[in-house]
Amino acid sequence: MSKQTTIQKRRRHFLLGGIILLAIGLTSFAVYGATLLTETKQVIDGSFQPLKRDDGIKKSLSKKEAFSVLLMGIDDTSERNLGSARTDALIYLTINPKNHTVDMVSIPRDTYTTIKTKQTTYQTRINAAYAYGQEEITVPTVEKLLNAPVDYYATFNFNSFL
């Protein structure tokens, strides 16, 4: 065998090894991406529960109307097992697609307010509203506090950021 034939075989082996490593890397990346997308979809799907509201008002996103979103970050995970979660973060957003603007306000968790449930009325911190009835109580409490409607909401816990 000549020296040139040996060099060509080494190049082929090196090239074949590189292609195999590249294929393994791309496959691993695709599997990781698919797993991440699936977990993200599960978290997003679990963050919404329709509210039982009397007004039945829903804003159409296709009409490019301004709408509001309440983001709630709760302090509950299966590992912490708190029993009753509270909102550590409340952020009220108004989005105006026509003007391409987003306004937001963070509601301090220690804001003292009135929380109404079906049984009674409480004077306490706003972060306790979630413990009294999750979104069903928190959304109307924020609406009353800000004197502004909440068209949509999303709830996130610590697992949403893992």
Dump pLDDT digits (tens) for 66-97: 888 888 888 765 565 556 677 788 889 888 88
Dump pLDDT digits (tens) for 98-109: 888 888 898 888
The CATH class of 61-161 is: alpha beta
Cα dihedral sign, 52-55-56-60 = negative
**Other Cβ atoms closer than 10 A to 12:** 10
